[in-house]
Amino acid sequence: MPWFRPVPPTPELLKAQVRAFSRQVPMMYALVLVNTIALSATHLDNSPPLLTLGFPGLLGVISLVRLVTWWRARGTTIDQAGAKRMLRQTLVFAGVLGLGFTLWAFSLFPYGDAFTKAHVVFYMAITAIGCVFCLMHMRAAAFLLTAIVVGPIAVFLLASGNPVLTAIGFNMALVAIAMLVILLISYRDFSNLVESQRGLEERQAEIQSLSDDYLRMANLDGLTGLPNRRQFFSRLQRVTDQAAAEGRRFAVGVIDLDGFKPVNDAYGHAVGDRVLVEAGERLGRNHGQPLFVARLGGDEYGLIIEADLAPEALQRLGADLCAALREPYCFPGVTAQVSGSVGFAVYPQAATAPNLLYERADYALYHAKQNIRGAAVVFSADHETAIKTAGLIEQALRHADMDTEFRLAFQPLVDIRSERTVGFEALARWTSPTLGVVSPGDFVPVAERSGLIARMSPVLLSWALDAAKTWPEDQRLSFNLSVRDIASPEQIARIIEIIELSGVDPGRIDLEVTETAVMRDFDQAARSLAALKALGVRIALDDFGAGYSSLSYVHRLPIDKLKIDGSFMRGLGAADKRRAIVKTILDLCRNLGLDCVVEGVEEPEQLVLLRPLGCRVVQGFLFARPMPGEAVAGYLAAERGEADAVELRSAG
């Protein structure tokens, strides 16, 4: 029968019973021992020693052992097999001890007067009731004890023939029945409570699992499985707090992949995603230092190095990381090549706040990409000075009066075959009332990073077009567009409107963009350049060779001209590899039908080396430095005069 099942049907109910018994069973055995000692004491004078000392002593020792066993079980973890064993033993001992104490009590009943006999009846009744309630969480043991103890004594009293004892027996039977009903109800409620608690625990486990999943999703990058930007900054805050409390140093790094955009564009996003995953795995290798690696977004990764490393050690670590990223990425049918640049900032030298540490590392990365791409840069005092200078420049730019502080200078582009100027590039010049003359190399990057260039470009373009209206029709105007310009459809629409209203033939205008500007958002850049091309202007790719020099841009964008970066001209020699690179670019332009301009020509020797390569148009200090707009007419007149004089001498 299920009522007498010794072991509960579910593990949860089993564990609940053991927990309850570990508190109640010691109390039951203590009750039995105290009541047994009291009954033995009242029969010492009128009962045999075997009944007052021997038999109850044996039963008492067994009860004491069981009491100690269950007492030790309190607060300890018992496995399921052990719990089943203890419950089965409880059932057995309930039957054995119940039978033993019942027989002992019946053996004592004939001895003594009416009071001692009443004590036996009371002992049987009260002890049984107490034990049954202590066993209420184990239905089988409670029923067994009731049947062995209460049943016989009730029958004995009912059959005694004594009206008082018969009434007591009847009352005991009623109490036993009521007690069993209460026990069944209590056991049912106990089982339901355990089942409800189990269901609640399961729901809590599900909720916890969902919470863990959401937490994992919120803190892990879905593509690479690395910690994401949120987790990176959370950990950076904790590490910074610990370092401040313990007075130790650590470093923050920011890594950006060089050349990832061309790979993504050439091979598709699937290959690009695999590159990002493998790049994360390479960064997570054992590089000899405790690295925490996170993907911050796009092709940018963050590092936290919890070690006190000198700048030289950070440089070596950065070189190791960059070398790992430079290894070819080999996938079925595709071999991709990218590299990485990394910037480091050390706590507390660079900064003490987490966000400033990251910004310092990001600035070091920016410096690496601008100057020594594919290498590591550690933020230094010089960089701190540069940041402060950039901050002063930005503040001055924000309050600058364009009309009074800015002007344009124009540098000629010269056809070295005809030795005639074919156009001018407009270059911005700024004299701040607080900072004095500020180099374009200083204020243009600040203007681009701060977004102020979007306000400056339309004004400068308008000035350049006003100047170009005064030039001969065969003179072209070159004007540089920034990242912000080509990334904004609204800004492109404004530039088109300015050109249309200027009265300058769009066919005389060259708009220059850099590879960096194109890479920020290739699709938007392509749309912007297509809109400008449709207007009739020509598009030049500036600083070619200094960046990624991806032929995919030349192929996929509406480009009319390449401008070879002036860095190739510095120290150019006949046997220099840079000369071979310049020749290759010139040949490429001829094969694709593109114009080509070589920048940075400052020495006659450079011109001697360029002529045999097929170079035609150059730009540099060899011919003229950038000049004010009002000086252009005189420059062109002097050039024409010299050309006329040469022609006259030749004719003479």
From 316, 344, 379, the end of a domain falls on 379
Q: What is the mean pLDDT of residues 194-223?
A: 73
Quote the CA–CA distance of 282 and 323 in Å, as a whole number: 10
Q: What is the mean pLDDT of residues 151-173?
A: 80
pLDDT at position 50 over 50: yes
Q: What is the CATH number of the domain that holds 437?
A: 3.20.20.450
Q: What is the pLDDT of residue 4?
A: 46
1 pLDDT tier (thresholds 50, 70, 90): very low
Q: What is the pLDDT of residue 534?
A: 95
Q: What is the mean pLDDT of residues 83-106?
A: 78
The percentage of residues in the chain with a pLDDT greater than 90, rounded to a whole number, is 40
Q: How many independent structural domains does the chain possess?
A: 3
86 and 195 share a domain? yes
Q: What is the mean pLDDT of residues 29-50?
A: 85
Is there a domain that residue 150 lies in? yes
Tokens 């449709």, residue?
A: 534
Is there a domain that residue 206 lies in? no
Q: What is the pLDDT of residue 436?
A: 95
Identify the bridge partners of residue 509 per DSSP, sorted by sequence position.
477
Q: What is the pLDDT of residue 576?
A: 66
pLDDT at position 319 over 80: yes
Identify the bridge partners of residue 1 per DSSP, sorted by sequence position.
none
Q: What is the mean pLDDT of residues 185-199?
A: 70
Helix H segments across 151-259?
A: 151-158, 163-219, 229-246
Strands (E) located in 218-364: 250-258, 291-297, 300-305, 329-331, 334-336, 339-347
From 151, 182, 201, the end of a domain falls on 201
pLDDT at position 577 over 80: no
Please state whether beta strands 339-347 and 250-258 pair in parallel, antiparallel, or not at all (unpaired): antiparallel
Measure the N-to-C terminal CA separation of the chain; round to a whole number of Å: 135
26 and 175 share a domain? yes
> Greater confidence, 408 or 61?
408
Mean pLDDT of the chain: 84
Quote the CA–CA distance of 2 and 256 in Å, as a whole number: 70
Sign, CA torsion 218/223/225/227? negative
Is there a domain that residue 218 lies in? no
> Greater confidence, 88 or 488?
488
Q: What is the pLDDT of residue 573?
A: 61
Quote the CA–CA distance of 259 and 552 in Å, as a whole number: 12
> Greater confidence, 143 or 588?
588
The percentage of residues in the chain with a pLDDT greater than 70, rounded to a whole number, is 88
Is there a domain that residue 35 lies in? yes
Contacts of residue 177, Cβ cutoff 8 Å, sequence gap at least 6: none
Is there a domain that residue 627 lies in? yes
Query: What values do phi and psi take at 285, rounded to 5?
Result: -65, 170
pLDDT in tens, 629-640: 999 999 999 988
Q: What is the pLDDT of residue 137?
A: 66
Residue type, position 10, single letter: T
3 pLDDT tier (thresholds 50, 70, 90): very low
375 and 415 share a domain? no
Radius of gyration of the chain (CA): 47
- Listed range (8-22, 222-236, 421-435) with the worst mean pLDDT: 8-22
pLDDT at position 438 over 80: yes
Give the 3-state secondary structure of residue 343.
Answer: strand
Q: What is the pLDDT of residue 387?
A: 86
472 and 567 share a domain? yes
Quote the CA–CA distance of 433 and 406 in Å, as a whole number: 11
Quote the CA–CA distance of 342 and 296 in Å, as a whole number: 13
413 pLDDT tier (thresholds 50, 70, 90): very high
133 and 68 share a domain? yes
Is there a domain that residue 294 lies in? yes
Q: What is the pLDDT of residue 268?
A: 87
Q: What is the mean pLDDT of residues 223-236?
A: 92
Q: What is the pLDDT of residue 7?
A: 47
Q: What is the mean pLDDT of residues 537-556?
A: 73
pLDDT at position 185 over 90: no
Find out whether the peptide bond into 348 is cis, omega within 30 degrees of 0. Answer: yes
pLDDT in tens, 265-310: 778 889 999 999 999 999 988 888 889 999 998 899 999 999 999 9
Quote the CA–CA distance of 346 and 360 in Å, as a whole number: 9
- Domain limits at 123? 2-201
Q: What is the CATH number of the domain that holds 290?
A: 3.30.70.270
Q: What is the pLDDT of residue 215?
A: 64
> Greater confidence, 541 or 91?
541
238 and 99 share a domain? no
115 and 10 share a domain? yes
Is there a domain that residue 216 lies in? no
Q: In Å, what is the CA distance from 419 to each residue of 240, 564, 597, 635, 636? A: 63, 19, 14, 13, 12
Q: What is the pLDDT of residue 181?
A: 77
Q: What is the mean pLDDT of residues 557-568?
A: 86
Q: What is the pLDDT of residue 68?
A: 82
pLDDT in tens, 321-348: 999 999 999 998 888 889 999 999 999 9
CB-hemisphere CA count at 13 Å for 417? 6
Q: What is the mean pLDDT of residues 559-580?
A: 78
> Greater confidence, 5 or 133?
133
Q: What is the mean pLDDT of residues 446-460?
A: 92
Q: How far from the centroid of its chain's Cα atoms is residue 112's Cα?
A: 85
- Listed range (127-131, 359-363, 604-608, 621-625) with the worst mean pLDDT: 127-131
Is there a domain that residue 267 lies in? yes
Are 513 and 541 contacting, i.e. CB atoms less than 8 angstroms apart? yes
pLDDT in tens, 346-399: 999 999 999 999 999 999 998 888 778 788 999 998 888 888 898 999 999 999
Give the 3-state secondary structure of residue 549.
Answer: coil
365 and 415 share a domain? no
254 and 180 share a domain? no
461 and 513 share a domain? yes
Q: What is the mean pLDDT of residues 159-168?
A: 80
pLDDT at position 90 over 80: no
pLDDT at position 645 over 60: no
Quote the CA–CA distance of 25 and 74 in Å, as a whole number: 11
Quote the CA–CA distance of 309 and 304 in Å, as a whole number: 12
237 and 370 share a domain? yes
